Structure 1
Amino acid sequence: MMKRTVTDLRIQSGVLKTWPSGKIRMSGGKLLDIRCGIVARRSSVARVWLESRFRSQPPDRCVLHYHSPFLSRYLSLDLVLAGPQTHLSTIRGACAMLDEIARLRGAVAIFAHVSTTRISDRLLQRLGWQRHLQGESGRHWIKRFYNGYPDHDLQRYVTQE
């Protein structure tokens, strides 16, 4: 039976390569888990608005939903859930985990359509993202890995047991 939750990247990294989609859950700057998704969790502007207004997040929690579209060398960041009390270290940790999943899968880039102004352009740039499709409506961003992957100290985001 396939394990559908990863809590230790050192031991379980191989399984992340085969999942079509997933959910990265971080809290307090530490990885809670990465969960397998069979079907990508699509988002829309309406959904983002509803989630931000009516779904409460625990303090200092960040959840990233991602999937690999038909072009398997790419990842799509579909949805970011974070409350107003989420610390930057928690967001950075979630992004570091997404970068690691991209590395494990051999992805050349991650795409995102950012529809909320709560995520600033400055923060995205600090996290290594670049504007993409500037002629299109909306805020399209890309994180490219053509020159290699960022060197993250993933151990700092993993809870020691």
Structure 2
Amino acid sequence: MPLFETVQDLDRDAATVRRRYHGVIEARDGRLSSIRLRPWPSLITRLRVWQDTRRRATEARQDVCRLYYDQLWRQPNFLVLKYVVSSSGTSFATARAAALALDAIADLKRSDAIVCEASNARISERLLDRWGWQRHLLSSSRRHYIKRLYPNSRPLTSTGHDLTIFPAIAGPQLAENPSATPAI
């Protein structure tokens, strides 16, 4: 088994992704580009963040997003989203493609949850809530989030936002007046 591997098709290389613990998801132009599998966890330091900030300046116009993830050795049923790198040219579709690839990897590994710390204030709680993330470790001053995955754990419910379009209508009310329409 090589130390570093690159996967470009999750369906074809599912066994390889399932076996490896650490990786970098790269999405470009709204699509999954590759998953680089690594032999050790990602170490995020101030020097690393500074280097990525400098590199972002040169890649400012590129539509690319990289997600660094690790599977815990002691708790292999969890994935940790360690670090996200994007530029000002990154589109919403590209960021979403990278997030969906992380969900697909968690599904392949049959993970119970994905955890992260949202240290960037520009990542809103509303967006995370819409994508299935919930606030976790409320006693901490940091913004810890967890995405519980179903069917491996209990289904997700949004406590902060009602994401339904139409309110529920009771059956007898509609039967009495068939021309009644729900109020929005």
TM-score (norm 1): 0.83
Give ranges in structure 1 of 5+ residues lacking alignment. 150-161
1:11 corresponds to? 12
1:133 is matched with which residue: 133, 137, 152? 137
The root-mean-square deviation of aligned C-alpha atoms, in Å, is 2.1
Match of 2:54 in 1: 54
Instruction: State the shift of 1:51 in Å.
Output: 5.0
- The one-letter amino acid of 1:62's match is C
Post-superposition Cα deviations, 1:37-71, rounded to whole Å, max 9, x if no partner, equal 11111325x35752564231452210000001120
Question: Which residue in 2 is equivalent to 1:27?
Answer: 28
Moved beyond 6 Å, runs of 4+: none
| C-alpha displacement of 1:131 | 0.6
- For the 8 Å contact 1:92–1:127, the answer to whether it is kept is no
Rounded to whole Å, the distance in 2 between the matches of 1:116 and 1:9 is 29
**1-structure distance, mates of 2:142, 2:148:** 19
Aligned length: 148
For residues 38 and 115 of structure 2, the distance between their equivalents in structure 1, rounded to whole angstroms, comes to: 18
Greater Rg by CA: 2
User: For residues 84 and 47 of structure 1, what CA distance do their matches in structure 2 show?
Assistant: 21
Structure 1 vs Structure 2: percent identity of aligned residues? 34
Question: What is aligned with 2:168?
Answer: none
Where in structure 2 are there 5+ consecutive unaligned residues? 157-184
Give, in whole Å, the separation in 1 of the partners of 2:70 and 2:49.
21
Query: Separation in 2 of the partners of 1:17 and 1:77?
Result: 16
1:120-159 alignment to 2 at 5 Å? 120-145=124-149, 146-147=153-154
Give the CA deviation at 1:108. 0.2
**Range moving further from structure 2, 67-76 or 121-130:** 121-130
Given the alignment, which residue of 103, 123, 138 partners 1:119?
123
**How far apart, in 2, do the equivalents of 1:79 and 1:148 lie?**
26
Q: Which has the higher contact order (CA 8 A, sep 6+)?
A: 1
Q: Summarize the Cα distance change of 1:120–1:47 in structure 2 as closer, same or farther, 3 Å threshold.
A: farther
Say which of 79, 82, 106 aligns to 1:78.
82
SS at match of 1:67: strand
Q: TM-score, structure 2 length as denominator? A: 0.73
Q: Which amino acid aligns with 1:67?
A: D
Q: CA deviation at 1:83?
A: 1.2
Quote the Cα distance in structure 2 between the aligned partners of 1:129 and 1:113. Answer: 11
